[in-house]
C-alpha cells in the first residue's frame, strides 16, 4: 500500500549546507541573507512551503530533498528573520526554474512503499525502537520529551525522527532519505544506529577511564594529606609518601657503601620536605638516579679466544694489529680476571672501520656497546655533569651511557676524541684525564652523583683521525693503535666480502639480478674513489645497485654484470687518474714517493736551469719542511760538486712538484730533490723505473721516513720496479704483503752519493 496527497508543483528551494532535514522534524533558522529572506516572503504569500535540499560533497545540490512548511516567522530589526520549518514530505527535482527572481524547482512527491507482510514491518519497527532505546541509555542528559519518539507507532515517522538525531555523514543520511522502500530504509537506519552505539560505547569507555584516573589522583592526594595531619596530631613531622617507596627500593638494590650513604642522606632530607616543593623533586631525582645506575651489574665476558678471532675476522678484513691486540686483552683477562682494562685509541683516516671495530670488539667480548661522539663537545659538564643543586641538572654523558647500557662493564667508545673543543665553559679533555686513566677511574666522581663510581671494568676505546690536537697528558694515558689506509687489494677484498653483499641486500636485489666482476670493482677503486677508507667505494657500489633496482622495478629481470667497461655506464666518466712513471729516463726529473691520507703515490720532481745567479725557485705548494729539504739538497750538491756540468752559481734552479693545487710537505723527498737538481746540473738523465724516499742531512746522510708500506704499494701501482729505502726502513718491509714485496727490488741506502749511483745514468 502507499501514502500520498496533493502538493504544489513548483516550490522555492533552499540549499542547506549544514545537514539533512528529515520529514516530521523541526528546523529553526536565523536568516540574514537578503535572497533567502525574499524566498521566505515569496513562500509566505503562496503555499508557505520551501524545498530544503542538502549540499553534495562536490559542491552541487542533491536532487532529492524535503518539502518544509513555515510554522513560525519572526522579524527583527536589521533585516534579521527567525523562521521555524517543519519537514512535510520528500520530493525529487524535475526542473529548475526562476519565478520573480526566486530560485524555484518543479518537483514530484516521493511515496514510501510498504511490504504486504505486516508482521515483517512490525518486527523492523520494534527492532528500530530497541536500538533507539539503547542509544538513549548511552546518551546521558537526554530530555524526557525526546524519549517519547519511541512511542511512535507510524513506521515512516519513527524512521525519519530517529535518523535525524544520529551523528552520521551527510551522504548516509541522504541515501536514507532517497530510499522509497520502508524495509530498505530501516536497514540503512539499523546500520547507522549500530555505528552510533559503538561510538557512544567507546566514548563512555574513555570517559570512564579518565574518571577513574581522576578519582585515583584525588584518592592519593586525600590519603597524603590525611597522613600529614595524622603525623602532626601525633606530634611528629609530616612524612613525604615517596620516602617509603624509595626506601623499599634502596633495600632491594645492591649498592656500594658510598652510594648507600649518599642515598640515605638524601632520603632523610626528602622525608622532611613537602612533596610539592622544588627541593623534594631534586632529592627524588637524585635517589632515582642512584637506583637506576648499574653499580654492581656486569655482563659475563666471553673469553673464548677462537670464537673472538672468528667474530673479528667475520666483521673486518685485515687490521691485523687491532685484532691481535683484542685477542691479547682476552687472553690476559682469562688469566687475570681482576686486571685493569687498558685504554685503546684507534688512529686513522676516515672510513677505515674504527667505529665498527669497536662494535665487533663488544660482540667478541659478549658485552654491551655504548658510543659517545665527542666531536664539538665544549662543556666540561658534558663529561662530569652538573651539581644537583642547579635546575635541570643531570649526570655527565659517561654516567648516562652506563645507565643506558645497564651494565658497569660495557665497551664504551669515545668517538672523535681529537675534535673536542674548549672555551669559557671548561676543557673537556681535562675531565677525560680521570675517565681514561686505569689508575684513577676506579673512583670516578661525577659532579651530579658526588659519590665515586667504579669505571675500571669499562673497556674504553677512543678514535681519532689525528693525534696532533689531543693534549699530551691525555694521549699518554692511551695505547695508540694506528689503522692505516687500505691498499687497493684491501679495498677489493672488503668490497667483495662485505660492501657488495650489503648494498645488494639494501636495494632489494639478489645475486641473480646483479653481479660485480673483479674488473668492475677495481675500476671503481682506481677511477672513481680516492680515499683511505671505503665509504666512497660503498657509495659508488650503492649507486650502481640503485640504477639496477630501477631497471628491475620496471619489469626488466635481465642479469646485470658490472665489469670495468660497463662501470662508466653507471657512474659516468672517470673522476680520478693515477700518476704513472715516465716512459723514458729524463734529465731533471726524479721519482719520489709520497704518503697521503688516501694512500701512497709517486711524486714527479722536476728541475730546470735558468740563466741567473744561483737562486733556488720552488713551486707546487711546498711546505716549509719540504722547502728546507730542497735547500739542503742544493747545499750538499754545491759542497760536494759531484759530476757537475754547470756551475750552480751561474744559474737559477727552478724546482717544481706537479699537482700544484695539492699542498705537499715533509722531509721524505730529500733524496729525490737531490737527484732532480743534480741531474739538471750534470745534464745526466734519471732512471725512470727507480723511485726513492728518505730524508737528507747536509753531511749527506739518509735518514728514515714513515709510511713505507703505503709508498711501496703506490709505487708498484705506478709501474716502478726498484725502490731505494733508507737502511733503517728496510725492516718496515715486513708490513708489505709478500706478493707485492716479491714484485719489486729494494735497495738500502745510507748516504746521498750511494743513492745517486742507482738513480742517475752517469754513462762513460
345-373 pLDDT per residue, tens: 988 888 888 888 888 888 888 889 999 98
> Quick one: 288 and 421 in the same domain?
no
pLDDT in tens, 628-639: 999 999 999 999
pLDDT in tens, 267-310: 888 877 777 777 888 888 888 888 899 998 888 888 788 888 88
Average per-residue pLDDT for the chain: 85
DSSP assignment of 634-668, as one string?
Answer: HHHHHHH--S-SS-GGGEEEEEE-S-TTS-B--ST
Give the 3-state secondary structure percentages of the chain, helix then strand then coil, rounded to 5. 45, 20, 35
Average pLDDT over residues 368-388: 85
> 158 in a domain, yes or no?
no
CA distances from 597 to 32, 170, 338, 349, 351 (A): 80, 70, 40, 6, 11
pLDDT higher than 70, residue 229:
no
> Quick one: 686 and 544 in the same domain?
no
> Quick one: 283 and 422 in the same domain?
no
For residue 598, the SS3 value is: coil
> 684 in a domain, yes or no?
yes
pLDDT higher than 90, residue 65:
yes
Nearest to 163 by CA among 206, 195, 137: 195
Check: CB of residue 40 under 8 Å from CB of residue 49. no
pLDDT higher than 70, residue 338:
yes
Q: C-alpha grid cell for residue 266? A: 638524601
Q: C-alpha grid cell for residue 591? A: 721519482
CA distances from 294 to 47, 384, 401, 460, 707 (A): 86, 17, 11, 17, 44
pLDDT higher than 70, residue 150:
no
Check: CB of residue 552 under 8 Å from CB of residue 591. no
CA distances from 488 to 527, 710, 716 (A): 12, 10, 11
Instruction: Check residue 764 and give its pLDDT.
Output: 52
Instruction: Check residue 1 and give its pLDDT.
Output: 31
Q: C-alpha grid cell for residue 585? A: 729516463
For residue 758, the SS3 value is: helix
What's 134-154 look like in SS3? HHHHHCCCCCHHHHHHHHCCC
pLDDT higher than 70, residue 676:
yes
CATH code of the domain in which 518 resides: 1.10.8.60
Banded model confidence at residue 449, pLDDT cuts 50, 70, 90:
confident
* Catalytic residue (choose from 668, 674, 676, 682): 668
pLDDT higher than 50, residue 3:
no
Which of 195-199, 325-329, 361-365, 543-547 shows the highest mean pLDDT? 543-547
Banded model confidence at residue 719, pLDDT cuts 50, 70, 90:
confident
Of 431, 456, 482, the domain-final residue? 482
pLDDT in tens, 568-624: 988 888 887 766 778 888 999 999 998 776 667 888 999 999 998 889 999 988 989
Instruction: Check residue 172 and give its pLDDT.
Output: 87
CA distances from 380 to 146, 386, 391, 425, 462 (A): 71, 9, 17, 6, 18
Q: Into how many domains does the chain fold?
A: 5
> Quick one: 647 and 725 in the same domain?
yes
> Quick one: 642 and 711 in the same domain?
yes
> 128 in a domain, yes or no?
no
> 365 in a domain, yes or no?
yes
CA distances from 150 to 79, 112, 166, 196, 564 (A): 40, 20, 14, 17, 84
C-alpha 537/C-alpha 522 separation (Å) is: 10
Instruction: Check residue 533 and give its pLDDT.
Output: 81
CA distances from 569 to 548, 554, 560, 591 (A): 11, 18, 12, 35
Active site residue 459: no
Residues 6 or more apart whose CB falls under 8 angstroms from that of 540 comprise 524, 528, 529, 571
Active site residue 711: yes
Banded model confidence at residue 653, pLDDT cuts 50, 70, 90:
very high
For residue 592, the SS3 value is: strand
> 122 in a domain, yes or no?
no
Instruction: Check residue 50 and give its pLDDT.
Output: 92
* Catalytic residue (choose from 323, 674, 711, 717): 711
Residues 6 or more apart whose CB falls under 8 angstroms from that of 191 comprise none
CATH code of the domain in which 409 resides: 3.40.50.300
Check: CB of residue 428 under 8 Å from CB of residue 383. yes
Instruction: Check residue 690 and give its pLDDT.
Output: 93
Of 482, 500, 522, the domain-final residue? 482
Q: Quote the percentage of the chain above a pLDDT of 70.
A: 92
Q: Quote the percentage of the chain above a pLDDT of 90.
A: 22
> Quick one: 460 and 520 in the same domain?
no
pLDDT higher than 70, residue 393:
yes
pLDDT higher than 80, residue 185:
yes
Banded model confidence at residue 159, pLDDT cuts 50, 70, 90:
confident
pLDDT higher than 80, residue 424:
no
> Quick one: 312 and 390 in the same domain?
yes
pLDDT higher than 60, residue 142:
no
Domain that includes residue 39, residue range: 10-109
Instruction: Check residue 578 and give its pLDDT.
Output: 66
pLDDT in tens, 453-463: 988 888 899 99
> Quick one: 620 and 601 in the same domain?
yes
> Quick one: 472 and 492 in the same domain?
no
Instruction: Check residue 91 and give its pLDDT.
Output: 93
Of 79, 109, 139, the domain-final residue? 109
> 226 in a domain, yes or no?
no
> Quick one: 448 and 494 in the same domain?
no
Pairing of strands 722-726, 745-749: parallel
Check: CB of residue 435 under 8 Å from CB of residue 444. yes
pLDDT higher than 50, residue 64:
yes
Q: What is the largest CA-CA distance in the chain?
A: 134
Average pLDDT over residues 432-440: 85
pLDDT higher than 50, residue 671:
yes
643 or 542, which is more confident: 542
CATH code of the domain in which 747 resides: 3.30.230.10
Average pLDDT over residues 678-690: 92
pLDDT in tens, 551-563: 888 888 888 899 9
CB atoms within 10 A of CB 337: 9
CB atoms within 10 A of CB 496: 14
> Quick one: 728 and 692 in the same domain?
yes
> 671 in a domain, yes or no?
yes
> Quick one: 316 and 444 in the same domain?
yes
> 211 in a domain, yes or no?
no
Q: C-alpha grid cell for residue 4? A: 500520498
Amino acid at each position: 500500500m502507499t501514502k500520498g496527497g496533493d502538493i504544489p508543483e513548483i516550490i522555492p528551494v533552499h540549499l542547506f549546507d549544514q545537514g539533512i532535514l528529515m520529514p516530521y522534524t523541526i528546523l529553526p533558522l536565523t536568516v540574514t541573507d537578503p535572497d533567502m529572506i525574499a524566498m521566505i516572503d515569496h513562500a509566505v504569500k503562496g503555499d508557505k512551503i520551501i524545498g530544503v535540499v542538502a549540499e553534495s560533497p562536490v559542491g552541487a545540490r542533491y536532487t532529492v530533498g524535503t518539502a518544509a512548511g513555515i510554522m513560525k516567522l519572526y522579524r527583527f530589526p536589521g533585516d534579521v528573520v527567525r523562521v521555524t520549518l517543519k519537514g512535510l514530505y520528500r520530493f525529487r527535482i524535475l526542473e529548475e526554474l526562476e519565478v520573480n527572481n526566486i530560485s524555484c524547482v518543479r518537483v514530484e512527491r516521493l511515496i514510501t512503499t510498504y511490504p504486504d507482510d505486516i508482521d515483517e514491518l512490525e518486527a523492523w519497527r520494534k527492532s528500530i525502537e530497541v536500538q533507539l532505546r539503547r542509544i538513549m541509555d548511552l546518551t546521558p542528559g537526554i530530555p524526557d520529551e525526546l524519549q517519547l519518539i519511541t512511542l511512535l507507532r507510524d513506521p515512516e515517522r519513527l524512521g525519519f525522527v530517529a535518523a535525524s538525531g544520529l551523528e552520521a555523514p551527510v551522504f548516509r543520511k541522504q541515501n536514507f532519505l532517497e530510499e522509497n522502500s520502508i524495509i530498505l530504509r530501516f536497514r540503512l537506519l539499523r546500520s547507522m544506529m549500530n555505528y552510533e552505539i559503538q561510538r557512544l560505547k567507546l566514548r563512555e569507555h574513555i570517559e570512564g577511564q579518565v574518571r577513574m584516573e581522576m578519582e585515583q589522583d584525588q584518592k592519593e592526594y586525600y590519603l597524603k594529606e590525611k597522613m600529614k595531619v595524622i603525623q602532626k596530631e601525633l606530634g611528629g613531622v609530616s612524612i613525604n609518601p615517596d620516602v617509603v617507596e624509595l626506601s623499599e627500593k634502596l633495600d632491594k638494590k645492591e649498592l656500594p657503601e658510598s652510594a648507600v650513604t649518599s642515598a640515605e642522606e638524601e632520603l632523610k632530607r626528602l622525608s622532611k620536605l613537602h612533596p610539592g616543593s622544588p627541593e623534594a623533586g631534586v632529592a627524588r631525582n637524585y635517589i632515582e638516579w642512584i637506583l637506576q645506575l648499574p653499580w654492581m651489574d656486569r655482563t659475563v665476558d666471553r673469553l673464548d679466544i677462537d670464537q673472538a678471532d672468528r667474530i673479528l675476522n667475520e666483521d673486518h678484513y685485515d687490521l691485523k694489529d687491532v685484532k691481535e691486540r683484542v685477542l691479547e686483552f682476552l687472553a690476559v683477562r682469562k688469566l687475570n680476571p681482576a686486571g685493569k682494562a687498558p685504554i685503546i685509541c684507534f688512529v686513522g683516516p676516515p672510513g677505515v672501520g674504527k667505529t665498527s671495530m669497536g662494535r665487533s670488539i663488544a660482540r667478541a667480548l659478549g658485552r654491551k656497546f655504548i658510543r659517545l661522539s665527542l666531536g664539538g663537545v665544549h662543556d666540561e659538564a658534558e663529561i662530569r655533569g652538573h651539581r644537583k643543586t642547579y635546575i635541570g641538572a643531570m649526570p655527565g654523558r659517561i654516567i648516562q651511557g652506563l645507565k643506558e647500557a645497564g651494565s658497569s662493564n660495557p665497551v664504551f667508545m669515545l668517538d672523535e676524541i681529537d675534535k673536542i673543543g674548549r672555551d669559557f665553559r671548561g676543557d673537556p679533555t681535562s675531565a677525560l684525564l680521570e675517565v681514561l686513566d686505569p689508575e684513577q677511574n676506579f673512583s670516578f666522581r661525577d659532579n651530579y652523583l658526588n659519590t665515586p663510581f667504579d669505571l675500571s671494568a669499562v673497556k674504553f676505546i677512543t678514535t681519532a683521525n689525528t693525534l696532533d690536537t689531543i693534549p699530551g697528558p691525555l694521549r699518554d694515558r692511551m695505547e695508540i693503535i694506528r689503522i692505516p689506509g687500505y691498499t687497493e687489494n684491501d679495498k677489493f677484498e672488503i668490497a667483495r666480502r662485505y660492501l657488495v653483499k650489503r648494498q645488494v641486500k639494501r636495494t632489494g636485489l639478489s645475486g641473480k639480478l646483479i653481479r660485480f666482476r673483479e674488473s668492475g670493482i677495481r675500476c671503481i677503486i682506481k677511477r672513481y674513489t680516492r680515499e683511505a677508507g671505503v665509504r666512497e667505494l660503498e657509495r659508488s657500489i650503492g649507486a650502481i645497485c640503485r640504477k639496477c633496482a630501477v631497471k628491475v622495478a620496471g619489469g626488466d629481470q635481465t642479469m646485470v654484470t658490472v665489469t670495468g667497461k660497463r662501470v662508466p655506464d653507471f657512474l659516468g666518466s672517470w673522476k680520478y687518474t693515477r700518476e704513472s712513471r715516465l716512459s723514458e729516463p729524463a734529465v731533471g726529473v726524479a721519482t719520489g714517493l709520497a704518503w697521503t691520507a688516501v694512500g701512497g703515490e709517486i711524486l714527479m720532481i722536476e728541475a730546470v736551469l735558468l740563466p741567473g745567479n744561483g737562486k733556488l725557485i720552488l713551486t707546487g705548494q711546498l711546505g716549509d719542511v719540504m722547502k728546507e729539504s730542497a735547500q739542503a739538497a742544493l747545499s750538499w750538491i754545491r759542497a760536494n760538486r759531484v759530476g757537475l756540468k754547470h756551475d750552480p752559481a751561474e744559474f737559477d734552479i727552478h724546482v717544481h712538484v706537479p699537482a700544484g693545487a695539492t699542498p705537499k710537505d715533509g722531509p721524505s723527498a730529500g733524496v729525490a730533490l737531490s737527484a732532480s737538481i743534480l741531474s739538471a746540473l750534470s745534464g745526466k738523465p734519471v732512471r725512470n723505473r727507480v723511485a726513492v724516499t728518505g730524508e737528507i742531512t747536509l753531511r749527506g746522510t739518509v735518514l728514515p721516513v714513515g709510511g713505507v708500506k703505503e709508498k711501496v704499494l703506490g709505487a708498484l701501482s705506478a709501474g716502478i720496479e726498484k725502490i731505494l729505502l733508507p737502511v733503517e726502513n728496510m725492516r718496515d718491509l715486513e708490513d708489505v704483503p709478500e706478493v707485492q714485496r716479491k714484485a719489486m727490488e729494494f735497495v738500502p741506502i745510507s748516504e746521498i752519493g750511494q743513492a745517486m749511483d742507482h738513480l742517475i745514468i752517469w754513462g762513460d
